[in-house]
């Protein structure tokens, strides 16, 4: 790039992304927050998640096929939110499974998730 030129690009993650939005007033039992893979043999990769809550709680992100397999745990204050963009996107270990979340207490929660599929 020649000196003096300014060029900023963000081509995204370069995959066909799926955006999902999930809300719940009580997520104290595991609930799906993202889709299962739609292509045989492919696995869902978490690229970004934004979550917020109106109640102080912890929220666990896990896989649907291996309950109790905590991938990430977030501790949020009342009216708290977090944007999580893993440095290296996290792939579910089994094809056709989904990302799920479970909260420590009842309260309003909202998730916005970006994912994609790969082998």
The pLDDT value given to residue 8: 52
Within-domain flag for 4: no
Number of domains composing the chain: 1
CATH number of residue 53's parent domain = 2.60.120
* Per-residue confidence (pLDDT) for residue 1, from 0 to 100: 47
pLDDT of residue 15: 74
Structure tokens at 39: 């292509």
pTM assigned to the model: 0.81
Print the domain residue range for 97: 18-118
Mean pLDDT of the region 88-115: 92
Asked whether residue 9 is assigned to any structural domain, the reply reads no
């Amino acid at each position: 790039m020649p000196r003096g030129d300014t060029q900023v690009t963000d081509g995204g993650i370069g995959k066909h992304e799926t955006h999902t939005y999930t809300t719940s007033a009580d997520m104290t039992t595991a609930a799906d927050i993202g889709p299962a893979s739609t292509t045989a043999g492919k696995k869902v990769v978490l690229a970004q998640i934004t979550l917020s809550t109106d109640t102080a709680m912890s929220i666990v992100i896990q896989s649907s096929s291996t309950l109790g397999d905590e991938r990430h745990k977030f501790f949020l204050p009342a009216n708290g939110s977090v944007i999580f963009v893993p440095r290296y996107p996290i792939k579910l270990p089994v094809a056709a499974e989904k990302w799920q979340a479970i909260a420590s207490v009842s309260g309003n929660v909202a998730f916005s998730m970006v994912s994609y599929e790969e082998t």
